[in-house]
């Protein structure tokens, strides 16, 4: 940040102070979303091999996944839980954009985005979108786009059913519950898609979205990126 922008930020912070999304302490001029301490303490996954890791293995033999990564571990009653809750339920789309940027800066240094030519954020059902006012996965995609310039295909997939909460269901029930959850369009000329979501829990939603895309676009390659992994 230039010194002029620093001074402007200082000035704005006096009248409209910003607070850490996790611990609530006041942020200084150079901090975004999280204070330095909370940012350091986040439970980073630090995935080295993008082709063979606990995320990519969830999709083996189900869909043709090239690369897969999640940025942080999601644990209940932890800093990562607080961060995700703020992103989804406290009207903080800025957390999505900022974390998308942070995640993309780290992964770009390590070649994660090579060969990927478009980003597809997992869509919300329109009713949920209307209630929340934004799609947190789209916000993450916008942060990634800011760093990588990879285009976002925001209308490639539509969520046609508003599935109830997945948390109290068995894996089988979850898989059945996401059947026909999405409808996709042809995405020519794009050949390698990065599907982006906020949290990966059972992989059922991600799989349903990937299958919908494959159904309309046979032969495309897919990679997967989520902010957190439960
Ligand atoms: Zn903090």
Domain match, 132 and 225 both: yes
pLDDT digits 0-9 by tens, 161-215: 887 555 556 666 655 567 789 999 999 999 999 999 999 998 999 999 999 999 9
Q: Which of 133, 115, 122 is nearest to 50 (CA)?
A: 115
Q: What is the CATH number of the domain that holds 174?
A: 3.40.50
The whole domain housing 181 covers 42-229
Domain match, 112 and 65 both: yes
Domain match, 185 and 170 both: yes
Domain match, 154 and 213 both: yes
Domain match, 78 and 33 both: no
What's the structural domain count of the chain? 2
30 Cα–ligand 1 center, Å: 13
Q: What residues have CB less than 8 Å from 42, skipping those under 6 apart?
A: 34, 72, 79, 80, 83
What is the phi/psi pair of residue 174, to 5°? -65, -40
Domain match, 116 and 218 both: yes
Domain match, 35 and 73 both: no
Task: Record the pTM.
Answer: 0.89
Is the pLDDT assigned to residue 18 strictly greater than 70? yes
Return d(Cα 215, Cα 183) in angstroms, integer: 9
223 Cα–ligand 1 center, Å: 32
27 Cα–ligand 1 center, Å: 8
Q: How many C-beta atoms lie closer than 10 Å to residue 138's C-beta?
A: 22
Domain match, 1 and 36 both: yes
214 Cα–ligand 1 center, Å: 41
161 Cα–ligand 1 center, Å: 37
Return d(Cα 120, Cα 144) in angstroms, integer: 11
Q: How much of the chain, in percent, has pLDDT values that exceed 70? A: 93
Domain match, 36 and 46 both: no
Domain match, 47 and 27 both: no
Mean pLDDT, range 38-66, rounded to an integer: 94
Domain match, 189 and 90 both: yes
143 Cα–ligand 1 center, Å: 21
167 Cα–ligand 1 center, Å: 28
32 Cα–ligand 1 center, Å: 10
Domain match, 51 and 132 both: yes
Which contacts qualify for 93-97: CB closer than 8 Å, 24 or more apart? 93/133, 93/134, 93/136, 93/139, 94/33, 94/139, 95/21, 95/33, 95/139, 96/134, 96/136, 96/137, 96/138, 96/139, 96/140, 96/142, 96/143, 96/198, 96/227, 97/139, 97/140, 97/142, 97/143, 97/146
């Amino acid at each position: 940040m230039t010194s002029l922008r620093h001074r402007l930020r200082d000035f704005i912070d006096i009248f409209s102070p910003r607070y850490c999304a996790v611990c609530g302490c006041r942020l200084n001029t150079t901090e975004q979303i999280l204070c330095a301490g909370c940012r350091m303490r986040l439970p980073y996954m630090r995935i080295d091999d993008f082709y063979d890791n606990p995320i990519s293995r969830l999709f083996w033999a189900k869909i043709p996944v090239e690369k897969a990564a999640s940025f942080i571990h999601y644990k209940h009653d932890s800093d990562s839980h607080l961060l995700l809750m703020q992103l989804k339920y406290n009207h903080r789309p800025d957390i999505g954009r900022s974390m998308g940027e942070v995640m993309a800066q780290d992964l770009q240094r390590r070649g994660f985005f090579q060969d990927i030519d478009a980003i597809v954020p997992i869509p919300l059902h329109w009713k949920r979108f209307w209630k929340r006012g934004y799609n947190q996965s789209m916000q993450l995609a916008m942060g990634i786009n800011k760093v990588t310039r990879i285009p976002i295909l925001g209308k490639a997939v539509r969520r046609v059913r508003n599935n109830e909460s997945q948390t109290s269901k068995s894996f089988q029930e979850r898989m059945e519950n996401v059947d026909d959850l999405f409808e996709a369009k042809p995405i020519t000329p794009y050949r390698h898609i990065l599907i982006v979501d906020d949290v990966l829990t059972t992989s059922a939603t991600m799989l349903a979205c990937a299958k919908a895309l494959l159904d309309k676009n046979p032969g495309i390659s897919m990679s997967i990126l989520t902010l957190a992994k439960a």
